[in-house]
Structure 1
Amino acid sequence: RNLAAVRGSGIDDWLPHVTTYAEDGGATTERLLDCDDVALPGTPGEADGTTPGTVAVVGLDATAPLAGLDAADGVGVAVGTDLVYASLDRLYLATSGAPTGCCWLVDRAVPGGPSGGWSGGWNGTSEIHELELDGTAATYVASGEVDGTIRDRWSMDEHDGVLRVAVGPSSETGDFSSIVTMRRDGSRLEEIGRVDRIGPREEIEAVRWFGDLALVVTFRRVDPLYTVDLSDQTAPRVVGELKVPGYSAYLHPLGPHRLLGLGEGPVAGRRWGAQTSLFDLADLATPRRLDVLDHRVGTRHVAATDPRAFTWIPGQRTGLSVITRGYGARTGWLSIIRLDDGTISEELVEVEHGSDVDHVRLLRLPDKRVLLVTAEEASYVEV
């Protein structure tokens, strides 16, 4: 049926379109890109694992927002994905192989031995496509692949012309995570270095990059925080590890030696809730957790899935995080987190009720005020 659907499709089913709405209520729809504007990446490996679709990358001049699409630069890549990472001069599109949680069978009777076997249609390989940015224009230049799964855009980082990727386990790897470094060689993204066996039998929860340093959080029952030295891009290495209960799903730097982690952890016995941790990274070989704040049972940090729900105010050593009670919650709080000499304190303010709790946003303005946007209103936060 899938093949029949593809054979019955036309070019307009694959090319992106744009709709323009007129003041009189009318609308016109036309192609955003023509065939000549779409790059068809070469298959990096022997198996064709490209996800069907077309991604359009459109560059707009922010100083002329009313110029419209006629003044925009657009390019397409024939791959279906919404996983995108951009540095100052490069943009990467990635597809991710299926995670182990999908079809990984831990069974000695399954082909593959004691570590289990793969039962599914995914090939366990992630594809990465690189585009160079020049002003509002983008140009497709290379493709590559890496065994493993790419969790999100935070799992990729470009530094000094090298792409660093944190990948989780898949059918093509062992039951562990890795960091892989890649550099463009002609039209190919080639692997130049890697470190394996990060967080055995665990999944990646958070990744943060700082020049020659990577921080990786994995989780199953406890929260290992790994420090990875990337000063030699061809030979990354794990230099330190810290295990604490719970996990951090979002990491926020507070300077060269301090780190704030937002996630979840045990609050009362087996019951869990939102958790805020303060880490000391002065010695990368022995990272420490200076303090931990356990929030109410059943709560969670919205920033764990959307970092826009957290704002840091450097001059006041204060963080603002939106907290809800579980998924599908009906009450949302603004957690005002204050740091003082390695300790964490909190003030809670109710800010939203109903189905819009997850959409509360914080925006730090150029004049240093903080705007709180809820479903009903926008207001300034006094801290």
Structure 2
Amino acid sequence: MKRAAATLSALCLVLSGCTATSSDLSEVARSGPGPAPALRLVAFDDCEELAKGLRKATMDAVGPWGFNTLPGGMRTTLNSGAVPEAQAKAAGGDQSFSGTNTHEAGVDEPDVVKTDGRRIVTLARNRLVVVDAASRKVTGTLALDGASDSAKPAAGADRLLLAGDRALVLGFDYSDPQGGGPLLTLVDLAGAPRIVSTYRIDGALLDARQVGSVARVVIRSAPRLAFLDHSKFQDDEARLAANRSAVAAAPVEDWLPRWTSTDAAGKKTDGHVGCGAVQLPETYSGTSLLTVATFDLGAAGLGSGEPVSVAADGGIVYANGPSLYVANDQRWRVNGPLVKRAGPAPDPKTQLFKFTVAGAARPKYAAAGEVPGWLLNQYSMSEWDGRLRVATTANDASAVYVLEQRAGALAETGKVGGLGRGEKIYSVRFIGTTAYVVTFRQTDPLHTLDLSDPSAPRTLGELKITGYSAYLHPAGDGRLLGVGQEADEKGRVQGLQVSLFDVHDLTDPARLSQFQVPGSGSEAEFDPHAFLFWPATGAVVLPVRGEQPSALILSVHDNQVTKAGSITHPAARYTQMRRSLVIGGTLWTLSDQGLQANDLVTLAQQAWLPLV
């Protein structure tokens, strides 16, 4: 039976539309106290068979007071990360400009501001604002608040993507008294900004990626189960029995995310993820579904999103173009606020789900797997030559794993461990067949790894210095920039630091220069979208928190990092700097008060555009 079930699972991965039997469900619907190997996925055309599996797994996960936590019902902020920002040519001209600092070239990520070199599009207090870069004037605004049943979406817009004359605004619908959900708004920018379509779906927005005009949006959702009033029961045993009865009676629709799409005329189309579009991993809890929806920003409307789902939790999204991965470490099952445990905590593990994507077609399930430990963020993953490299920390020991797809599984081909024993990973950077890993507890070892042989990755060098780098950025010519915190010999942080490393010789990495701002920090430490490196002039721009918030401009020249100046906005003491971008010879900085234009070289102010 096990061999038959495995064969059926492999066929389901290829055909993505077979129907499993109840006997197969017993093989794949087990639920343990922590994450377990997820080497198979099973699809169901029959909704009742899918319901049986989901009910069984959910019943095992429910407690007297419901779930330990409802990860799919909580709103999460977008994960973000960065690699050198792409330089492009403005439409109709030869002006170079900086795009969003993204993880992979050619794969855009949502952020609070976007530019195509001709205009700047940003969000300010639930308004979309369009600025003409040449005239340095606001040319259009669009309110993004209103009832969810109107042509305007509800408040909560916080990120956007840009493709040609279209912007996709990512937000949250707070108007739903039952909890709301992710809200996408497609805006046409050809003239005065106008809404052409909206899309709402149950759950929480994890992240999104865009290639060309096509965006993939990843959502996490919890089942909509109607648990009874717990105060009416005298003991936990009665509460647990009532909760399990509610799960047993729930229809399959209570697990399937519902979506609503509207067009420019306000016409609604409703639906939900189909049973045949849901797959079950080998082990799952039934408390969450991961859904990937696809939208062509150049289309007349957002449509259904062609959603596909996996019965799993997840929190980290990585994509390189042809592949999209979602990592699920299930740490809420280990560290949740209501977790009760008699023995030691299970070893940390992370499940990985891979989708293949092409054009505007629906994503296809490709493979699933598991690695020991937990990931820091999306930079902990990188696909190279068809193999996924993953950096994790487990019980204060870190390692890098190399996985390749084999018959629907992400199988380990090699690993290198022993990175910073007793320490945790603070940043990771994969560049080609090389990996840079920073671990920290009291000092900051920068580890250099050779991954050219996927069956035998190895550590080449290590540099121990005080403090740590929370973000690493290639600076060209065998150099690496690090942004993080300086620390004393006991590991107590002292303030923002930017380091320039020489990594020409991977066996002997060295720090060439360091710049410090005592008692301060930067958003770029945890959101690299806030980091700007402009190779043409060697400029590094960072928002700096402190007594006087500002945009710090550094110069990287002759193996030195020096201060070139700083930019403040009006009412600087009360202003949070957020982003910076370059268009031609102008440096634009964005704060929560407005946009400012300064000369890129002299830093002389050219324009101030209040946005509030």
TM-score (norm 2): 0.53
Are the structure 2 counterparts of residues 57 and 67 from structure 1 closer, same or farther at C-alpha, using a change threshold of 3 Å? same
Q: In the alignment, which residue of structure 2 is the partner of 1:168?
A: 393
Instruction: Please list, as runs of the form range in 1=range in 2, the aligned pairs for 1:149-228 lying within 5 A after superposition.
Output: 149-170=374-395, 175-228=396-449
Q: In the alignment, which residue of structure 2 is the partner of 1:107?
A: none
Residues 101-140 of structure 1: CA deviation (Å, up to 9, x unaligned): 969xxxxxxxxxxxxxx833x5511100111111123101
Larger radius of gyration: 2
Query: Residue 245 in 1 paired to residue 462 in 2?
Result: no
Instruction: Please list, as runs of the form range in 1=range in 2, the aligned pairs for 1:82-121 lying within 5 A after superposition.
Output: 82-96=315-329, 98=331, 119-120=344-345
* Matched-pair contact (CA < 8 Å) for 2:380–2:391: yes
Q: CA deviation at 1:98?
A: 4.0
Instruction: Please list, as runs of the form range in 1=range in 2, the aligned pairs for 1:213-362 lying within 5 A after superposition.
Output: 213-266=434-487, 272-297=494-519, 299-325=520-546, 332-346=549-563, 347-351=565-569, 357=576, 360-362=578-580
2:303 is matched with which residue: 64, 69, 76? 69
* Rounded Cα–Cα distance in structure 2 between residues aligned with 1:324 and 1:307: 15
* Rounded Cα–Cα distance in structure 1 between residues aligned with 2:263 and 2:300: 14
Are the structure 2 counterparts of residues 290 and 136 from structure 1 closer, same or farther at C-alpha, using a change threshold of 3 Å? same
Residues 196-229 of structure 1: CA deviation (Å, up to 9, x unaligned): 1001000100001111100000000111000000
Q: In the alignment, which residue of structure 2 is the partner of 1:126?
A: 350
The residue matched to 2:461 in structure 1 has which SS? strand
* Matched-pair contact (CA < 8 Å) for 2:449–2:460: yes
Q: In the alignment, which residue of structure 2 is the partner of 1:106?
A: none
- Structure 1: 5+ residue stretches without partners: 104-117
* Matched-pair contact (CA < 8 Å) for 1:97–1:123: no
The residue matched to 1:254 in structure 2 has which SS? strand
Are the structure 2 counterparts of residues 183 and 212 from structure 1 closer, same or farther at C-alpha, using a change threshold of 3 Å? same
The residue matched to 2:379 in structure 1 has which SS? helix
Are the structure 2 counterparts of residues 357 and 31 from structure 1 closer, same or farther at C-alpha, using a change threshold of 3 Å? farther
Q: Percent identity?
A: 32
The residue matched to 1:40 in structure 2 has which SS? strand
Are the structure 2 counterparts of residues 203 and 142 from structure 1 closer, same or farther at C-alpha, using a change threshold of 3 Å? same
- Structure 2: 5+ residue stretches without partners: 1-63, 67-242, 337-342, 601-612
Residues 279-332 of structure 1: CA deviation (Å, up to 9, x unaligned): 0111110001001111032x112111101111111110001111113xxxx852
* Matched-pair contact (CA < 8 Å) for 2:468–2:487: no
* Rounded Cα–Cα distance in structure 2 between residues aligned with 1:65 and 1:296: 50
Q: CA deviation at 1:34?
A: 1.4
The number of residues matched between the two structures is 349
* Matched-pair contact (CA < 8 Å) for 2:467–2:488: no
Query: Residue 16 in 1 paired to residue 248 in 2?
Result: no
* Rounded Cα–Cα distance in structure 2 between residues aligned with 1:223 and 1:205: 9
* Rounded Cα–Cα distance in structure 1 between residues aligned with 2:267 and 2:544: 41
* Rounded Cα–Cα distance in structure 1 between residues aligned with 2:324 and 2:357: 7
Q: In the alignment, which residue of structure 2 is the partner of 1:60?
A: 295
* Rounded Cα–Cα distance in structure 2 between residues aligned with 1:77 and 1:324: 40
Q: CA deviation at 1:273?
A: 0.4
Q: CA deviation at 1:379?
A: 2.7
Q: CA deviation at 1:339?
A: 1.4
* Matched-pair contact (CA < 8 Å) for 1:217–1:225: yes
* Matched-pair contact (CA < 8 Å) for 2:471–2:484: yes
Q: CA deviation at 1:161?
A: 0.8
Q: CA deviation at 1:271?
A: 6.0
Residues 234-259 of structure 1: CA deviation (Å, up to 9, x unaligned): 11000000011100000110114011
Q: CA deviation at 1:38?
A: 1.8
The residue matched to 1:150 in structure 2 has which SS? coil
Residues 13-60 of structure 1: CA deviation (Å, up to 9, x unaligned): 322223446789x8957334212112222x2xxxx3557311221222
Q: In the alignment, which residue of structure 2 is the partner of 1:39?
A: 279
